[in-house]
Amino acid sequence: MSERLSELHEASGKVRELYSFGERMLLVTSDRMSAFDVVMPTDIPDKGRVLTGLSKFWFDRTGDIVRNHLISVELADFPEVARDHELAGRSMLVERLTMLPVECVVRGYLAGSGWKDYQAAGAICGHDLPPGLPESGQLPYPIFTPATKATEGHDINIDLETAAVLVGQERLEQLERISLDLYLEAAAYALERGIIIADTKFEFGLDADGGLVLGDEALTPDSSRFWPADRYKPGSSQPSFDKQPLRDYLVELRKAGQWNGDAPPPALPAAVVAATSARYLEAFRLLTGAPLEVGQ
């Protein structure tokens, strides 16, 4: 990485880095992958470019629903890093926002913490749901289930009253309507192409004029659950479109006593890396209708 870039570093996510250029920021998605809450020791080729390409695809497609922070994915448009070919295709130049302290989760199916909360209470984030729904079952309609970022570990689901305290009632209603619109549009489109978007998380911020803007990444496999539609069978957990080969391998590794689930596992076998990379490229091709360009 260039000397200049490290001085501009602002934040690290598990698999992403954020850099600051005054009113603009650079959001770099790495090829790192996490599974079972652990970052793998081996990179997945093309993963960063697939996630960045998918975010751009969805930002372009949903601009009529809500404005978003994307300025450009062309390296040439940010001279500070234009010569850093490592960053090509996996970096987004974005507008700096004041991020809102609510994670905007939409669920169309019962999975993860939504399934847990439903089993315990028959409700998720204050949405009462009909009894008898199976694990991974489709909800009667998508629901908005806000969460807050935990200081460490997983986000915490909150009810609408708590979310309203954080951002105000009117803003919350706007977030709910826009999040549901985004999900409904994207989920219908993806389903026609063989991918169920079971749930997804949006992050919004405010521009200098107080206008609402969609930020972060959007509708990627890292911010959503993608399931292959042709294998959908409610009643148990579903295979993940992107993570399943890796998860299957890690489960076997644990059974064999070669991984305790805490520290990073040993380097991933080439076959697991190749299968995982192929899944990301396939999700990109199915959703955008064209393969990811090589090299760039």
Which residues sit at the interface with ligand Q0Z, rule CB under 6 A? 11-13, 16-18, 25, 27, 69, 94-97, 99, 205, 215-216
Distance, in Å, from the CA atom of 74 to the CA atom of 147, rounded to the nearest integer, reads 33
Minimum Å gap between C-beta 148 and ligand Q0Z is 14
Minimum CB distance to ligand Q0Z smaller for 84 or for 95: 95
Q: Which residue is nearest to ligand Q0Z, using beta carbons?
A: 11
Minimum Å gap between C-beta 204 and ligand Q0Z is 10
Pairing of strands 16-21, 24-29: antiparallel
Minimum CB distance to ligand Q0Z smaller for 91 or for 136: 91
Minimum CB distance to ligand Q0Z smaller for 94 or for 190: 94
Minimum CB distance to ligand Q0Z smaller for 128 or for 152: 152
Minimum Å gap between C-beta 190 and ligand Q0Z is 23
Minimum CB distance to ligand Q0Z smaller for 96 or for 254: 96
- Contact predicate 83/4, CB 8 Å: no
Minimum Å gap between C-beta 13 and ligand Q0Z is 4
Distance, in Å, from the CA atom of 232 to the CA atom of 229, rounded to the nearest integer, reads 5
Six-digit token string for 194? 């063989």
Helix or strand or coil: residue 42?
coil
* 220: CB partners within 8 A, 6+ apart: 51, 54, 55
CA angle, residues 47, 51, 54, in degrees to nearest 5: 135
Minimum Å gap between C-beta 123 and ligand Q0Z is 29
